[in-house]
Amino acid sequence: MSEVMAETDRSSQSTTEQVKDRVQDATAQARGKVSEQVSQQVDTRSTQAGEQVSSAADAMRRTGEQLRQEGKEGPARLMDQVAERGERLGSYLTASDGDRILRDVESFARRQPWLFAGGSVVLGFFVSRFLKASSSRRYRESESLDGRYRSAGYVSPAELPAPRPQTVPPPRTGAVGGGFGDDVR
C-alpha cells in the first residue's frame, strides 16, 4: 500500500513540475512577444520622430543663415549649434532600431538615475500640457459637431430640460404638543 502512495506522490510531483514548466514556457513566450511589439513600436516611432527632428533642424539651420545675413552673428551661431545637435539626434533616431534605443535609455538611466528621473518629470509635464491643449481643441471640435447635430434636430442629453423637482408638503403639526404622533385627528 505504501508503494502505491509513493508512486502516486511521484506522479503528482512530475505532473506539477510539467505544469510549472509549461506555465514558465508560456510566460517566456508572452514576454518575448510583448518585448518584440514594444521594440517594433519604438523603432517605428523613433524613425518618425527622427525625420521630424531632422526637418526641424533644417529649419533652424535656414533660420541661422537668415540671421547671419541680417548681421546677427551670435544668434546665428546658437541656431547652428542647435541645428547640428538636432541633426545628430534625428540621424540617431532614424538609424537606430528599437532594441538599441531601449538599451541606450536603460544604460543612461543606470548611469544617471537622478537626471533620468528629472528628465522624465519634465517630459511628463510637457506631455500633460500637450494633452491638455489637444483636449481643449477636441472639445471645441465636438462643440461644433454638436451645432451641426442640433441643426439636424438632434438634442444632446445635456440639453434636455431638467426634471422638475417634486415638492413635498411640510409636515403638519398638531395644536397641542407638536410632538411625534400628535397630529391625529
Confidence at residue 2, expressed as pLDDT on a 0 to 100 scale: 55
- Kindly state the average pLDDT of the residues 57-66: 90
Q: Give pLDDT, residue 49.
A: 85
Quote the radius of gyration of the chain (alpha carbons, Å). 35
What pLDDT does 114 receive?
93
> Residue 160 carries which DSSP code?
S
Predicted model pTM: 0.48
Closest CA to 100 of 51, 46, 32, 52: 46
pLDDT higher than threshold 60 for residue 72: yes
Q: Mean pLDDT in the chain?
A: 76
Write the pLDDT tens digit of every residue in 78-114: 988 989 998 998 888 888 887 888 888 889 889 988 9
At 179 the pLDDT is 52
- Rounded Cα gap, residues 101 and 51, in angstroms: 16
Q: Which of 130, 118, 101 is nearest to 43 (CA)?
A: 101
| Most confident of the following: 26-30, 75-79, 181-185 | 75-79
Cβ-based neighbours of 95, under 8 Å, separated by 6 or more = 50
- What span, in angstroms and rounded, lies between the C-alpha atoms of 98 and 52? 17
pLDDT tens for residues 140-181?
766 665 555 555 556 556 666 666 666 666 666 655 555 555
More confident residue, 21 or 76: 76
| Dihedral of the alpha carbons of 34, 40, 43, 49, in degrees to the nearest 10 | -90
Model pLDDT, residue 30:
74
Q: Residue 180, Cα to own-chain centre: how many angstroms? A: 59
Q: How many angstroms separate the CA atoms of 88 and 78, rounded?
A: 16
Q: What does the pLDDT read at residue 5?
A: 53
Compare 38 and 161 and report the one with higher pLDDT: 38
